[in-house]
Amino acid sequence: MLNIVLFGPPGAGKGTQSQKIINKFNLVHISTGDILRKAISEKTPMGIEAQKLIDDGNYVTDEMAIAIIKEELDRHKNTNGFIFDGFPRTKYQAETFPKLLSEYGGDVNVMISLEVEEKNLINRLINRAKDSGRPDDRKEEIIQKRIGIYNDRTVLVSDYYKTLGKHQSINGDGEIDVIFEEICETIERFNKI
């Protein structure tokens, strides 16, 4: 199994790169954010609980994020592997993840961190809101809050993978295809280990 965690702040390009990665490596994409947005649009009980938190720029609970991952792992038992986009996002999620994944016979091969300058993130998200209509991208104040929460609660998750020797930073300020090339090289390198 090949399991990749794609990491980076809001607007780093995780969704864009995930699409390219799943096509090339034949992986299943699990984006907790996409699943939550679908639940919100379908007004499921989880969606109703998540909506206000997300619109205000807050995280959903760890229990909710972990429940989403469990369900997706169950749904794709015979896959080549996964790309995790938006998970793990807190220390608790990172600590729970290995046990969860090992129940499905897997382990994380590498965390790839897309590094993007903060001013570029804000511009990208404001532009994205014009097409996506995502309420959490519409106001600069909410974007700043999400970046703040990312810095407070999520950046430290990368330290966990650094300690394990399973971390690679990639400059996310550049051409989509150049970034993708670097991601592919990294995946191939860690797939052999």
Nearer to ligand ADP, 65 or 83 (CB): 65
Q: How far apart are CA 107 and CA 49, in angstroms?
A: 30
Q: Which of 2, 13, 17, 59 binds ligand ADP (CB under 6 A)?
A: 59
User: Nearest Cα to 72, choosing from 98, 34, 44?
Assistant: 34
The reply to whether 161 sits near ligand ADP by the rule CB under 6 A is: no
Q: Does 46 bind ligand ADP (CB under 6 A)?
A: no
Binding track over 73-102 against ligand ADP, x by CB under 6 A? -------------xx-x---x---------
> Of 78 and 149, which has the nearer Cβ to ligand ADP?
149
33 binds ligand ADP (CB under 6 A): yes
24 or 52, CB closer to ligand ADP?
A: 52
Q: Which residue lies nearer to ligand ADP by CB, 16 or 79?
A: 16
Residues contributing to the site for ligand ADP (CB under 6 A): 10, 32-33, 36, 53-54, 58-60, 65, 86-87, 89, 93, 136, 146
